[in-house]
């Protein structure tokens, strides 16, 4: 028998599913039975920010529907080639706000760690599509520069793990961070911004749940679903398991033309989130990032949608409509 080196850790099931993600636009079109959309693909957009989508997420798309709200979020179409005025490469001012390698400190009391540049899914509307975050991660170097940054500013009581998707790194690597944070008495909360419980819910495995259960701070997890169809039984199970460990679950969504720009879609999203044990937190106006103009919903329309939501939903199921404006001290309510 060939001895297995001690350093070879067997892949978790979620890591296998991660690697099996669909990356070829034609393979995706074939999986959803829409070969005729091939002529509308953009090779430029696909080269700049490649397609990536887990098979379990593809299974939630409606086959044969070119307007499917999940498909629209991931398919690199020629709409992206349109260069609209006002849509830039750094729409939210991240290039100026970097505090240390992989740390963005824009708001009082909270520091955001770019844990990693990678994601299980590539969302076409994402402002990170233009960022060289792969070289700017907080996890590289054993989190040391991020910890030094936090030490230098005791006013930071909340650490936000973001990315990329922070749950794309392994649980042992997350444990290195939580171990290092224990030495900082200022930390009162740990927040995790992640889309993985929605797009690859298998990530919430027993190893992760045990890590979450043993953390010494209250944990807030802000997941990211934009449409009710993203929330299926596998997502509800992952959310229930997180809640059983005391994790507070909130959702942030992005308002997008052709995805969720109706009162019906947004109401269904809030209801589906609540049924999964998640409360809506933010509804973001799109960051004006190059290649995303076709998703934009004007502010007057966004506000009218909010008024409709307010009329039919309990207040706690109405998300806050916000925009991120570079240089502001917080997200800006609209
Ligand atoms: C959005 C954001 C936060 C979190 O803001 P909250 O309003 O507390 O959710 C923190 N830091 C940065 C850099 C952000 O972009
Ligand atoms: S950071 Fe979030 S929104 Fe952006 S591509 Fe990754 S998962 Fe999608």
Contact 189, 158 (CB under 8 A): yes
Q: What pLDDT was estimated at residue 2?
A: 53
* For the chain, percent of residues with pLDDT exceeding 90: 83
- The residue among 110, 118, 160 whose CA lies nearest residue 137 is 118
Q: Where do the domains of the chain lie, and which CATH numbers do they carry?
A: 95-249+322-333 (3.20.20.70)
Contact 253, 282 (CB under 8 A): yes
CB 104 near ligand 1, within 6 Å: yes
- Which atom of ligand 1 is found nearest the CA of 281? 9
Q: Buried b / exposed e across 194-220, counting CB within 10 Å, b at 16+? A: bbbbbbbbbbbbeebbebbeebebebb
Q: What pLDDT was estimated at residue 163?
A: 87
Distance from Cα 224 to the centre of ligand 2, integer Å: 9
Alpha-carbon gap, residue 22 to 28, rounded angstroms:
7
Distance from Cα 226 to the centre of ligand 2, integer Å: 12
pLDDT beyond 60 at 7: no
**What is the pLDDT averaged over residues 183-192?**
96
Query: What's the pLDDT tens digit per position in 222-235?
Result: 999 999 999 999 99
Confidence of residue 136 (pLDDT cuts 50, 70, 90): low
Helices and strands (DSSP H and E) totals, the chain: 13, 10
Q: Which two tokens stand for residue 238?
A: 């992952």
Q: What is the pTM of this model?
A: 0.95
Confidence of residue 254 (pLDDT cuts 50, 70, 90): very high
Distance from Cα 92 to the centre of ligand 2, integer Å: 15
Reduced to 3 states (helix: H, G, I; strand: E, B; else coil), residue 287 is coil
Q: What pLDDT was estimated at residue 8?
A: 55
**SS3 sequence, 120-140?**
CCCCCCCHHHHCCHHHCCCCC
CA 99 centroid distance within chain: 22
First CA to last CA distance, the chain: 65
What are the start-end ranges of the E strands in the chain?
Answer: 98-100, 103-107, 110-114, 158-162, 189-193, 219-223, 248-254, 279-284, 320-323, 332-333
CB 113 near ligand 1, within 6 Å: no
Distance from Cα 35 to the centre of ligand 1, integer Å: 40
Residues forming a β-bridge with 104: 98, 112
Confidence of residue 129 (pLDDT cuts 50, 70, 90): confident
- Which atom of ligand 1 is found nearest the CA of 330? 7
Contacts of 181 (CB under 8 A, 6+ apart): 147, 150, 159, 187, 190
**What is the pLDDT averaged over residues 295-310?**
98
Contacts of 305 (CB under 8 A, 6+ apart): 255, 261, 262, 263, 266, 297
Query: What's the pLDDT tens digit per position in 257-268?
Result: 999 999 999 999
Query: What's the pLDDT tens digit per position in 8-38?
Result: 568 899 999 999 999 999 999 999 999 999 9
Q: What DSSP letter does each residue of 150-170 carry, written as one string? A: HHH-TT--EEEEESS-GGGS-
């Amino acid at each position: 028998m060939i001895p297995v080196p001690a350093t070879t850790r067997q892949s978790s099931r979620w890591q296998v599913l991660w690697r099996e993600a669909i990356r070829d636009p034609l393979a995706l079109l074939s999986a959803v039975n829409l070969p005729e959309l091939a002529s509308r693909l953009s090779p430029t957009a696909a080269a700049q920010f490649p397609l990536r989508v887990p098979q379990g997420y593809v299974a939630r798309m409606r086959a044969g529907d070119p307007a499917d709200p999940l498909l629209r979020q991931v398919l690199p179409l020629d709409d992206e080639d349109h260069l609209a005025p006002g849509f830039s490469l750094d729409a939210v001012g991240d290039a100026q706000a970097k505090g240390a390698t992989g740390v963005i400190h824009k708001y009082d009391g909270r520091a955001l760690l770019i844990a990693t540049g990678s994601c299980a899914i590539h969302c076409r509307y994402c402002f990170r599509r233009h960022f060289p975050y792969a070289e700017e991660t907080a996890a590289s170097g054993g989190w040391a520069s991020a910890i030094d940054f936090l030490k230098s500013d005791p006013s930071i009581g909340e650490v936000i793990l973001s990315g990329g998707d922070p749950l794309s790194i392994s649980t042992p690597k997350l444990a290195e961070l939580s171990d290092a944070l224990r030495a900082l008495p200022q930390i009162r909360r740990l927040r995790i911004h992640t889309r993985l419980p929605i797009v690859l819910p298998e990530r919430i495995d027993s190893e992760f749940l045990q890590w979450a259960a043993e953390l010494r701070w209250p944990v807030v997890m802000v997941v990211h679903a934009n449409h009710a169809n993203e929330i299926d039984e596998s997502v509800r199970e992952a959310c229930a398991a997180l809640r059983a460990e005391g994790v507070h679950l909130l959702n942030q969504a992005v308002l997008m033309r052709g995805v969720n720009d109706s009162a019906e879609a947004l109401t269904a999203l809030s209801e589906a989130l609540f049924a999964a044990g998640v409360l809506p937190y933010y509804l973001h106006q799109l960051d004006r990032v190059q290649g995303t103009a076709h998703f934009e919903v004007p502010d007057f329309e966004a506000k009218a949608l909010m008024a409709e939501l307010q009329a039919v939903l309990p207040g706690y199921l109405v998300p806050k409509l916000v925009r991120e404006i570079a240089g502001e001290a917080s997200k800006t309510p609209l």
